[in-house]
Structure 1
Amino acid sequence: MKDYRRLTEDEVLQLKSQSCLADDWGNVLVAEGFNSECVHHTRFSGEVKLGVFDAEFTLPGGIKKHSGLRHVTLHNVVVGDNCCIENIQNYIANYEIGNDTFIENVDIILVDGLSTFGNGVEVAVLNETGGREVLINDKLSAHQAYIMALYRHRPELINRMKSITDYYSNKHAATVGSIGDHVMILNTGSIKNVRIGDYSHICGTCRLTNGSINSNVTAPVRIGHGVICDDFIISSGSHVDDGSMLTRCFVGQSCKLGHNYSASESLFFSNCQGENGEACAIFAGPFTVTHHKSTLLIAGMFSFMNAGSGSNQSNHMYKLGPIHQGTMERGAKTTSDSYILWPARVGAFSLVMGRHVNHADTSNLPFSYLIEQRNTTYLVPGVNLRSVGTIRDAQKWPKRDKRKDPNRLDYINYNLLSPYTIQKMLKGRSILKDLRRVSGETSETYSFQSAKIKNSSLNNGIRFYEIAIHKFLGNSIIKRLEGINFQSNQEIRQRLKPDTEIGKGEWVDISGLIAPKSEIDRLLDGIESGSINRLKSINACFSEMHENYYTYEWSWAYDKIQEFYGLNPETITAQDVIRIVKSWKEAVVGLDKMVYEDAKKEFSLSSMTGFGADGSHDEMKQDFEQVRGDFESNTFVTAVLKHIEDKTALGDELIKRIEHIEE
């Protein structure tokens, strides 16, 4: 604790001569080394503590300002060392201000009564009329919010989670706010009941009310011009800029909201981007991106999602109000002018084109296209597996993770193929085979729920899913047997045995975290029983699941390898493994070749339309190559070719290592 002393008579006289006033000079305490020359036109009220004013700030453009107080009213305020506070039109009340902080041209900064600073605010996500409220807090993860919003069939669990959040909110409630170290607040309107973390930069902001800005030295937060935030929490590393308006929103780590983006009753988790458009009651899981002025996201759950311009959904059928909701599973995208009438569920990594009003559920047919023709939804299953765009997306997400904060709130699994998506493909393959069996192999179209599937699409879908299943199971077995020189089938069998039983059965995607359902249930049982009763403990459980992903993944894959290839764990041999690896090699190379062909379309003659504006065919080609490069040297294309080469070598290496083992 810093030692403070009372002002000397000389200091009081000097302050008075510099147009300073105090209700009671005895309530103004100062640190050793305090220099009264740096305080002008200041009014003190209540208890005020002042640090030293030794440092100088250099502002953009080169102007220098010495720390101190000028033209400001302080009521119950602690000012740290080397702060510069000037031109506060109204006053600053009930705040502790850290060291090296610069505050200039602000209307008012105050805490009025007891505040939880945005913690415990109820956000009516997914259903605007209520029923799925998530209580936001500083430590909120996407996974925690997912459970609070969607597991309403377990009321005791929800009550426990609410009381855990309430405990946290009450523990952090205070009548005094804090502004951290190295904070800059410039040309800003009113700040009321807001806790501001270290290294925050707030410039030109209109209004901030009842919230927390969880900035720190490793991941500063920036709030920019024209921004209005009410009942909010903004996590580390995020930028909210250019007239964005947020009402009852949680903004996760390293999100970017700008260009007049408007959101209410919404949750945005790690690395989301929102610009120009509008969000209402959405659950935006990690990497949800929307850039366009004409795009409205409403009452939906998304993650790893890119919304095309003019994307729209309806949660209102003009009967009982806006009570409908929908889910687009991870990686699903919408094209320009797409529309979905909720309720609906779109499978993982699917593409939605056109207007869909028939409430389809394609969750067991991932990697599909949903295309509308004459008000009918046509489904093309599995086709997105061969799309160059899907592979590019999977590669770009880890690179676009901008989180610098060592304490990450969300545990994000980037894998395109995982037990979660492969279990869906296994179900999808069965669905498609059953459709073919029931309706006959020669049917032109098949009906699945409210969608139509063409004959060729159905047969291709089965083939695409089988390729992906071979690829995933082969990958898993190669990884498991990596780097060991086996001498017998017994050694191989021993190594193939999983390290744990956890992982068998169903898997779920809890908004970015892929985990066995059994482990999620174990956590929920712990919360219900009261043995897990802190936000910190809940997040530690998610962390553990994330850390052990590959251990659990192998338990699931080993189970499915036996089922899919009809093998007995007691009699599996090197030759069985070699057969699986050969199928895997065929699948990997086959899929990469399809991706390669898909990429080629981007370099076709029709793609060159508009290049070489005023010249001949040759100039068009040359212009195209200058802008886009040629096909063979394109970085993505070379990566695909390298992938074919590397994976072939990997499979060959394992075969070589075990082919000498006799049956």
Structure 2
Amino acid sequence: MGKISRKPLSRIGYDFILPQFLEPGQDEYHIRYRQFGPGKDFRRLTASEIEALVKNENVADNWEDIWVSEAFDPNLVRNCHFHGRVRIGALEAYYLEFHELRIPVGLYNSTIISCDIGNYVAIKNVQYLAYYIIGDETVLFNVNEMQTTSHAKFGNGILKEGESEHLRIWLEICNENGNRKVLPFEDMLPADACLWARTRDDRELMAAFKKMTDNAFDQSRGYYGTVGTQCVIKNTESIKDVKIGSHAYIKGANKLKNLTIKSSEAAPSQIGEGVELVNGIMGYGSRAFYGVKAVRFILGENSTLKYGARLINSILGDNSTISCCEVLNSLLFPGHEQHHNNSFLIAATVLGQSNIAAGATIGSNHNSRGADGEIIAGRGFWPGLCVSLKHNSKFAAFCLLTKGDFPAELHIHLPFSLVANNESEDRLEVIPAFWWQYNMYALARNAWKYGERDQRTYKQQSFETDFLAPDTVAEMFHALSYLEEATARAFREQDHPSPEIELEGRALGKELLLERPEIADRLIIRANDMEHSAREVRLLKVTAAYRAYREMLHFYGVRTLLDLQTEGEGPVAWENLRAQFGESQREDWFNLGGQLIARADLDRMLAEIKGGDIDSWKELHARYVDLDRDYRQKNAANAYASLLELHGIDAPAVNEEMWRKWVEQATEISWMMARRTKASRQKDYDNPFRQLTYNSAEEMEAVQGALDANPFIREMASRAAEFADRHA
């Protein structure tokens, strides 16, 4: 606790900026005037107005420092104490109404210290309001404390003049030991944090990021807190060093400290009852309700914290929801869902479109001498009920983990896999390409729903939500080679009554998986690099998985190339594609906060940051936009190269007849996707145990909806028909 000092009453509201932090010719209001204006529209009170104010039980240390607009009715100011320079906008006989709360315009029963108050503002029962600029038509009702300090940073990881380095606020993401920490700033994206946290070995880059953050803000002391136009703040205990955008709604909050709350008429942000937020940034259209506690955090645009959620030392991307649970030291890309009271996510980097089930303890099971473990999970990560994972573990895209306590670290590098801990056999079992084969409804709907939920108003980045994209394509090519090698190894190691095949390595595996599935299906195929233990790791249904990966890659390649076709054009000719993409090679891609960027472009961008060609976060964000403009073309080039690699053929060897057959095959796959989507959902209707709680099929249909009326099933069928018609 700091020491209480005693000072003259007449100095309340003055000396906001101490003299040692003022340049010659500056006064303590120079930044305030820059924020709100120098006051040309204000005047001093008349004698009659002062008389009326005193009659209405108002008190001021110095009436000369109370300035008002021309439209000022002193009868609308009652029982207020004024200290320092207070400037008051238009006050006339109106009331403001919001959600049936009706508050008269004016200042009532409040203590106001050195503030600028906009036009037609209603301030009632604010016990302490100091150093704030209040926008027009804003309501402050039943607020205990609302103040700004001269060194306020509003949630940004910067220092003010005269402050030492240890006062910086860092976000210790991805790792509990703090060695991946980043400096928050109000426009920070998960992409920025990812670059900063994942390149720790590059000291030059670390210095550049820190410099970019410092240069984005004025280090001068004396900035006032701001509340935008048409905000409502009511029944709230404490607000300190908080910048609040327009049209924000705050009700019943306990404590808000050192924050930027981005809000606008198009994307209003909200904070509800019992919320405590400290050292953070809230994006446009974000929400925090019902007992949420967040400390050292960034909350993305159109994202929600609710029902007692805890978010600490973490960044939550756009279009996400966390409720009832605890998330610590994590970096979560857009489209993250976590809704259950008994789930934990700790020291994790999750690359978006994810869902954490009840009882899951992801990363809380330490197994080293220090709290320095990490988990990295690709897009579409879905751990099931009560899943417990150990550090360090890593997962490819769209991994589904069945319920269970996984006893050792995992490296699941095959995408779309189902991972199961078979306790009865004491082994780990992995079914590659599980989603494609057995749950197309969930897989295809994942891409659809995250696109539908993207309700952002200000889209600083474009996100890839399709499960068939350059990042998953790279993982599937790895999966093909891995399955070929694992199958060949199993064939050579195991006794079997099979004819000798004069092939080795991947060629042998490919032969078995494609041409001799009756042999491959009898093999026990192991993958002992997926779990840090001595027990067996078995790959199941490998032949089907291998063919599934090839189907997915083929469909991705053809569909992406055909998507270059514009409405009304004739069939896409292979010669035109060859002329356009020439000798294109398949590239490595990086998921940068939900946006896919080619590795070569990423390396070039980082080099430009270190070289000073990109020297601000604003310029870096502009580069994200530039790269997104090129994404469609680069993705098509990647698809072109992927098709050739998949089929083992050079571009000149592909003729129009072969291309036509490829398109026909892709059309068949599209129809298959539609059928599998319906079939995987049909299981829920045909399951007799799902029918137990209904008196009749009609009641079940009334509750669940008719299968054939399911909008997503119909959407998939419509897509297949459109694909077939357009490319017939």
SS of corresponding position for 2:481: helix
Would the alpha carbon gap of residues 624 and 558 (structure 1) be closer, same or farther in structure 2, given more than 3 Å must change?
A: same
Alignment of 1:105-254 (within 5 A): 105-120=142-157, 121-170=169-218, 174-254=222-302
Q: Could you tell me how far 1:552 is from its partner in structure 2?
A: 0.6
Offset at residue 372 of structure 1 (A) = 1.0
Name the SS for the 1:636 alignment partner: helix
Shift of the alpha carbon at 1:103?
0.4
Tell me, in whole angstroms, the C-alpha distance in 1 between the residues paired with 2:282 and 2:411: 34
* Structure 1 contact 291–307 (Cα < 8 Å) conserved: yes
Change beyond 3 A, Cα 1:210–1:568? same
| Cα separation, partners in 2 of 1:410 and 1:244, compared to 1, 3 Å | farther
Match of 1:327 in 2: 376
**Cα distance between partner residues in 2 of 1:269 and 1:501:** 37
Distance 1:256 1:346 in 2: 26
What's 1:625 paired with?
701
Residue aligned with 2:654, SS: coil
Counterpart residue number, 2:720: 644
Post-superposition Cα deviations, 1:544-579, rounded to whole Å, max 9, x if no partner, equal 222221111112122222222233334532112113
Root-mean-square deviation (Å)? 2.2
Deviation at 1:504, TM superposition (A): 4.4
User: Which residue of structure 2 lines up, in the alignment, with residue 98 of structure 1?
Assistant: 135
- Give the SS at the match of 2:651: coil
Residues 37-46 or 594-603, more deviating: 594-603
The equivalent position to 1:460 in structure 2, one of 544, 551, 560, is: 544
Q: In structure 2, what is the equivalent of residue 616 of structure 1? A: none
AA at the equivalent of 2:716: V
**TM-score, normalization: structure 1?**
0.92
Summarize the Cα distance change of 1:340–1:584 in structure 2 as closer, same or farther, 3 Å threshold: same
Contact kept? 2:208, 2:609, Cα under 8 Å = yes
- Given candidates 347, 357, 365, the residue that maps to 2:407 is 357
* Contact in 2 for aligned 1:508/1:515 (Cα 8 Å): yes
Higher strand share goes to which structure? 1
**Could you say if the C-alpha distance between residues 584 and 202 of structure 1 is closer, same or farther in structure 2, counting changes exceeding 3 Å?**
same
Contact 2:432-2:540 at 8 Å conserved across structures: no
1:469 and 2:517 matched = no
Say yes or no: does 1:394 pair with 2:447.
Answer: yes
Rate the CA distance shift 1:94–1:368 in 2: closer, same or farther, 3 A: same
| Partner amino acid, structure 1, of 2:152 | S
Distance of 2:626 and 2:543 partners within structure 1: 40
**Letter paired with 1:402:** Q
Matches within 5 A, 1:226-375: 226-302=274-350, 303-315=352-364, 317=366, 319-353=368-402, 354-363=404-413, 365-374=414-423
1:611 counterpart residue number: 693
CA offsets, 1:520-549, max 9 Å, x none? 111111111111011111111111222221
- The 5 A counterparts of 1:398-413 are 398-403=451-456, 405=457, 407-413=458-464
SS at match of 1:274: strand
- Long gaps (5+) in structure 1: 613-618, 654-663
* Superposed displacement of residue 102, structure 1: 0.7
> Which one of the candidate residues 437, 440, 443 is aligned to 2:523?
443
The whole-number CA distance in structure 2 between the counterparts of 1:273 and 1:158 is 30
Match of 2:617 in 1: 535
Q: Determine whether 1:546 maps to 2:634.
A: no
Q: TM-score, normalised by structure 2?
A: 0.84
Secondary structure class of the residue paired with 1:122: coil
Aligned equivalents of 2:109 and 2:248: distance in 1?
Answer: 23
Tell me the secondary structure at the aligned position of residue 576 of structure 1.
helix
Residue 63 of structure 2 corresponds to 25
- Partner residue of 1:56? 94
In 1, the alpha carbon distance for the partners of 2:90 and 2:706 equals 63
Give the aligned residue type for 1:99: D
CA contact (8 A) 2:585 2:641 kept: no
1:470-497 CA distance string (max 9 Å, x none): 11111123234565457xx9x7424433
Are positions 1:417 and 2:480 aligned together?
no
The Cα shift of 1:58 comes to 4.3
Tell me, yes or no, if the aligned pair for 1:253 and 1:409 is still in contact at 8 Å.
no
Does residue 71 of the first structure (1) align with residue 120 of the second (2)? no
Quick one: distance in 2 between partners of 1:277 and 1:414? 25
Inter-partner Cα distance in structure 2 for 1:63 and 1:110: 24
Does the CA-based 8 Å contact 2:691-2:700 persist in structure 1?
A: no
**What secondary structure sits across from 2:696 in the alignment?**
helix
Aligned length: 639
Distance between the aligned counterparts of 1:502 and 1:545, measured in 2? 18
Q: Which residue of 1 aligns with 2:501?
A: none
Segment drifting more, 625-634 vs 152-161: 625-634
Q: Which amino acid aligns with 2:269?
A: V
Measured at CA, do residues 594 and 537 of structure 1 come closer, stay the same or move farther in structure 2, by a change above 3 Å? same
Contact in 2 for aligned 1:358/1:450 (Cα 8 Å): no
Q: CA deviation at 1:454?
A: 4.7
Question: Equivalents in 2 of 1:358, 1:265: separation in Å?
Answer: 26
Q: Which residue of 1 aligns with 2:495?
A: none
Distance 1:345 1:62 in 2: 51
The 8 Å contact of residues 486 and 525 in structure 2, kept in 1 or not, is answered as: no
Does the aligned pair in 1 maintain the 2:433–2:548 contact within 8 Å?
Answer: yes
The DSSP-based 3-state class of the residue aligned with 2:281 is strand
CA shift at 1:586, angstroms? 3.4
**What SS does the aligned partner of 2:460 have?**
coil
Query: Matched residues in 1 for 2:321 and 2:451: separation?
Result: 15
Q: Is the 8 A contact 2:120 2:137 kept in 1?
A: yes
Change (3 A) 1:48 1:61: closer
Q: CA deviation at 1:413?
A: 1.4
Match of 2:721, as an amino acid? E
- Tell me if structure 2 keeps the 8 A contact 1:102–1:182: yes
**SS in structure 2 at match of 1:49:** strand
Q: Which moved more, 1:494-503 or 1:578-587?
A: 494-503
**In structure 2, C-alpha distance between the alignment counterparts of 1:296 and 1:243, rounded to whole Å:** 17
Distance in 1 between the 2:302 and 2:246 partners?
A: 16
- Whether 2:432 is the aligned partner of 1:384: answer no
CA distance in 1, matches of 2:146, 2:715: 54
Percentage of pairs with the same residue: 23
Post-superposition Cα deviations, 1:304-343, rounded to whole Å, max 9, x if no partner, equal: 1111110112355364321101011111111111111121
Q: Distance in 1 between matches of 2:681 and 2:221?
A: 55
Report the 3-state secondary structure (helix = DSSP H, G, I; strand = E; otherwise coil) of the residue aligned with 2:610: helix
Instruction: Pick closer, same or farther for the CA change 1:480–1:637 going to 2, 3 Å.
Output: closer
Tell me how far apart the structure 2 counterparts of residues 456 and 259 of structure 1 sit (CA, whole Å): 40
Contact map agreement 2:96 2:139 (CA 8 A) in 1: no
